[in-house]
Structure 1
């Protein structure tokens, strides 16, 4: 549509400054004659377009002009830019690229220069370290399925290691911390469920469409402390000084006490589950469970089973 092209041109000129007629024609896939007509239309609508002749010529918007930004301060716009950039790192979608251009267009050249000079004071990056293109492909496929109301099939591995075939009607993508989830109506369970994308395999967007159902509020998925209180008990761990950095990442500072030899003692109430044992074993020889005794015994049993696996290889 012409109105969309005119708006996009205005945003581009505000962000880029001078742009040649040929570049505009190539970008918007129209003729240079159409570009000249569009520039005249923008002029008549009150946007001060200036045409420059010569090799370095082109169109630009006069310096004082900026799109109305209502009551947004420079700091507020900076925060919006940072947030949109962050989303764009995780979602490969032109919509967010265009949105970023539009938000930047709210700034005058003086404002943009000020932001460049002071540097980025806030950066959001929702792309975890080491994440390959497969994770982003899942997000993009699900976004397309949600937009076009297409059913999706996949194999899902739950937290207990059980695999199942699912066909779902995706409703919304959720980014929680550094993990992606999708809220969807599961045809197998006949109810809405939340699926973790890292546990989804062989994702396929189907040709079959669906009628959107009213999804439950996401507030209903808030963490409930009762979920983990059943196995919550006092524990004490002792970590070597070599893993201080990891201990600081994993535990509340109030639970950690430095010992005279540089080691770290961690005392607190923890849930005894598979995650806890996996976490402790990941520290290898750099951790010792001091209490309770049954957790000590379980760690010894698990360590013994690991040794038995390697002893079988020696035979």
Structure 2
């Protein structure tokens, strides 16, 4: 018997009041008989669940009984609810996420009418409908241990079919990633969701034994290999804005008022575009090949307008 289903039933009863066995069976895609057994287990655990027969009847938790939250005070719960509200645009199709929200909504019901002091909006992170659908499919694949099949677009705009055993979803530097074992490359890889096309569920697979720490180490080594040391010069016009983009200890002010940023950056196609976002206020000093690549990039743009 699944503990998570018992907990979810308890949370639904606590939040919604009276719920029929049929409604619960449809929600969890099990038989009515299974729901009755689940209710018996909940009662054995000491939760007073009662039942009313006839029209409008169903299971309910007796009046004046509440689920005491052992870990959060009211302020912490209200903050968590604000965070979950912001994340609902991403994981709103995920049943486990919705069950968690139900739990905290019930625990936070005394604050439901309280003015929100924290507002988290994830919608600006390229959350198109396709991306939300992909997040849902990936979650399904991870939960059901199914492979994912899709076409992936590399930095040269080349398509290749990938067959991936999914491990986790990651959000880093404003981008969503799928992390898993790629059967095509025979290695652990990380894929940007915005570059994935025609994502589909495949057959069930046997999970590989790897810890989160081992996976992090693999990705960190790969990330370090792609990093390059870059030195950028910024005019004093935007000096006070640099901490919005770089760590303070990487920024040095020169005597002439200019600012130098000396740090590691991922060497990928987005680096030059990032640098050019600063316009004439930024200059690449080192390495020389990045300076030349930036110059060539600008020359190609100028050629289009002069042509």
Q: Same fold (TM over 0.5)?
A: yes
SS of the aligned residue for 2:207 comes to coil
SS of the aligned residue for 2:198 comes to strand
- 1:257-298 per-residue CA deviation (whole Å, 9 max, x = no partner) reads 6999xxx943121457444322122344x4342745956665
SS of the aligned residue for 1:198 comes to helix
Which residue pairs with 2:29 in the alignment? Answer: none
Please say if residues 280 and 287 of structure 1, whose CA atoms lie closer than 8 Å, have aligned partners that are also in contact. Answer: no
Which residue pairs with 1:169 in the alignment? Answer: 165
2:136 corresponds, among 114, 124, 140, to: 140
- 1:63-97 per-residue CA deviation (whole Å, 9 max, x = no partner) reads 63211433543344445444544543312212211
Please say if residues 145 and 207 of structure 2, whose CA atoms lie closer than 8 Å, have aligned partners that are also in contact. Answer: yes
Q: Determine whether 1:250 maps to 2:251.
A: no
Quote how far apart the aligned CAs of 1:138 are: 1.1
Q: CA–CA distance in 1 between the matches of 2:8 and 2:178?
A: 32
Which residue pairs with 1:98 in the alignment? Answer: 99
**Aligned pairs for 1:175-194 within 5 A:** 175-194=171-190
Please say if residues 126 and 178 of structure 1, whose CA atoms lie closer than 8 Å, have aligned partners that are also in contact. Answer: no
Please say if residues 239 and 288 of structure 1, whose CA atoms lie closer than 8 Å, have aligned partners that are also in contact. Answer: no
Quote how far apart the aligned CAs of 1:50 are: 11
SS of the aligned residue for 1:66 comes to coil
Please say if residues 237 and 265 of structure 1, whose CA atoms lie closer than 8 Å, have aligned partners that are also in contact. Answer: yes
Which deviates further from its counterpart, 153-162 or 216-225? Answer: 216-225
SS of the aligned residue for 1:169 comes to strand
Q: Determine whether 1:287 maps to 2:284.
A: no
**Aligned pairs for 1:274-313 within 5 A:** 274-284=269-279, 286-289=280-283, 291=285, 294=288, 298-312=293-307
- Are the structure 2 counterparts of residues 192 and 8 from structure 1 closer, same or farther at C-alpha, using a change threshold of 3 Å? closer
Count of aligned positions: 283
| Structure of greater Rg | 1
SS of the aligned residue for 1:65 comes to coil
Please say if residues 153 and 195 of structure 2, whose CA atoms lie closer than 8 Å, have aligned partners that are also in contact. Answer: yes
Q: Determine whether 1:66 maps to 2:63.
A: no
- Are the structure 2 counterparts of residues 252 and 5 from structure 1 closer, same or farther at C-alpha, using a change threshold of 3 Å? closer
Which residue pairs with 2:229 in the alignment? Answer: 232
In the superposition, the TM-score normalised over structure 1's length comes to 0.67
Please say if residues 236 and 292 of structure 1, whose CA atoms lie closer than 8 Å, have aligned partners that are also in contact. Answer: no
Please say if residues 11 and 99 of structure 2, whose CA atoms lie closer than 8 Å, have aligned partners that are also in contact. Answer: no
Structure 1 runs not aligned, ≥5 long:
52-56
Q: CA–CA distance in 1 between the matches of 2:6 and 2:167?
A: 33
Q: CA–CA distance in 2 between the matches of 1:144 and 1:59?
A: 30
